[in-house]
Structure 1
Amino acid sequence: MTGALSHTGRLLVATPVLTDPNFARAVVLLLDHDAQGALGVVLNRPTPVEVERVLDGWAALAGRPSVVFQGGPVGLDSALAVAVVPGEPGQAEPLGWRRVHGAIGLVDLEAPPEVLAGELGGLRVFAGYAGWSPGQLEAEIAEGAWYVVDCEPGDVFDPQPERLWRAVLRRQRGPLALLATYPDDPTLN
């Protein structure tokens, strides 16, 4: 991005003022952020659909819960898979996996699962994604809709995704940590 900071590999954490039902209390992993726009997946929206029902062979590699997550409001009929491959950037990458940031990358779901079985430290499958046109995400951040924070590989595979919004905020320094206690409905306070 010319003159701007790319947030690829970081998390977008919805601020309490973001009430759009697609993103209220959402934690989004940014898979791509450049001058062309941004693309990410919502990490904390599990569906009741089990991975084994939609992707033959991948369920054994999926983290718990082994369900498909709603990655965002766009392209709900398509699947993306995010996985962690331990090791440092620069090492040979396994076939069927493309590094996004650090140990986090995208999996080619057309590849045979057994090719990646011994390489992955975790896998999460998403139906759909969240997307922003050029400048749109930057405007939303400036308006106070999102906090941008560092991602830890465990965030992608949190076994209790419904608690992820609070957990990510709680580990931040300063005032952001206090927001982890923000009530679901402040009018009931």
Structure 2
Amino acid sequence: MNLFGERLFQALEQAAPEPGMLLVADPLGLEGSFFHRSILLLLEHSETHSMAVILNQRSDVAVFNVLPAWAPLASKPPAVFIGGAHEQRAVSALGILAKDKVREEHPDMLRVANRIVRIAMSEDPGEVAELLEGVRIFQGLQFWGPGELEEEIASGDWYVTPALPSDILTPGNQDLWVNVLRRQPMPLPLFATYPSEIDDN
């Protein structure tokens, strides 16, 4: 997985971390960790901290069982997703605005990037349903302290790239980690076929 004697992501030019960017886990550097083959969406990034949610770690808990009012808005699979290792009691929601809607009509929606919005859990789901293409519910968040995320990126743990609205609501029959790698510049699409378990190769 090394390229020119370095870890793959260290050898490639990539975007700067900022809200709305994806963090793509290195296939080898984070193998066996909590973040193996993870895709994270950066929600906040500053000199003091960074915050993200993991987009592709689904739990076995149905949204209907914990937040029944939000279940009709939840995109398939309608499960609660594991957003990160921190703030395990924190529940948050991401939504995708319908193409003909504008966020300014609802101040309780915070724009992350393009049509991706954070939705206040105090919102009435019935009042925002017609504005959204879908919603994903997360439990937990991921935090970094000052400079920690930059250090991990510099060491090759993450590849930084823009998010697409479709990334937030990826169906359960698709592998988001593979999808994101396939749309990157070469040679990253070649590594999309890297097995999730090395023993399977």
Fold shared, TM-score > 0.5 on shorter chain: yes
Alpha-carbon distance in 1 for matches of 2:148, 2:103? 35
Partner in structure 1 of residue 169 of structure 2: 157
Match of 1:173 among 181, 185, 194: 185
Number of residue pairs aligned between Structure 1 and Structure 2: 186
Percentage of pairs with the same residue: 39
- Mapped contact 2:103–2:111 kept (Cα < 8 A): no
- Evaluate the alpha carbon distance shift between residue 5 and residue 188 of structure 1 in structure 2; reply closer, same or farther with a 3 A threshold: closer
Deviations 1:6-57 (A, max 9, x none): 4210100000111352211100011111112211110000111111111131
Show structure 2 runs of 5+ residues with no match.
1-14
SS of 2:118 mapped into structure 1: strand
Partner in structure 2 of residue 48 of structure 1: 60
- Mapped contact 1:94–1:119 kept (Cα < 8 A): no
Residue 66 in 1 paired to residue 78 in 2?
A: yes
Alpha-carbon distance in 2 for matches of 1:93, 1:39? 26
**TM-score with structure 1 length normalisation?**
0.90
**TM-score with structure 2 length normalisation?**
0.85
Task: Quote the offset at 1:96 in angstroms.
Answer: 2.8
SS of 1:92 mapped into structure 2: helix
5 Å-filtered alignment, 1:69-148, equals: 69-87=81-99, 92-148=104-160
Please tell me the root mean square deviation across aligned C-alpha atoms, in Å.
2.1
Deviations 1:100-155 (A, max 9, x none): 22111111111211111111121000000111111000000000000111111000
- Mapped contact 1:89–1:102 kept (Cα < 8 A): no
Alpha-carbon distance in 2 for matches of 1:38, 1:161? 30
